[in-house]
Amino acid sequence: MTSQPAPLILLLATILALGLAACSRSPKEQLAFQHAEQQYQLNQLNLRNAEQARSREDSNGLAQDERARTRD
């Protein structure tokens, strides 16, 4: 007796469809995900700003050191 691939394919397609439907987010989960994404973007912006400020402070400190050396 030969196996019939059609029921197996139908079963796999059904399992896949149910699995995908179960993966959708609830409205609360969507809101939490959106908030987390916004917070991530703000954190990245704050990190860049802090790095730029540190870079400016370092270059200002070097310039002041140079001026102090030339005065001495």
Instruction: Give the amino acid at 36.
Output: A
The average confidence (pLDDT) of the chain is 82
Q: Tokens 């939490």 label which residue?
A: 32
Prediction pTM value: 0.51
Q: How long, in residues, is the chain?
A: 72
Tokens at 49, concatenated: 């700003």
pLDDT digits (tens, 9 = 90+) for 11-23: 888 888 877 776 7
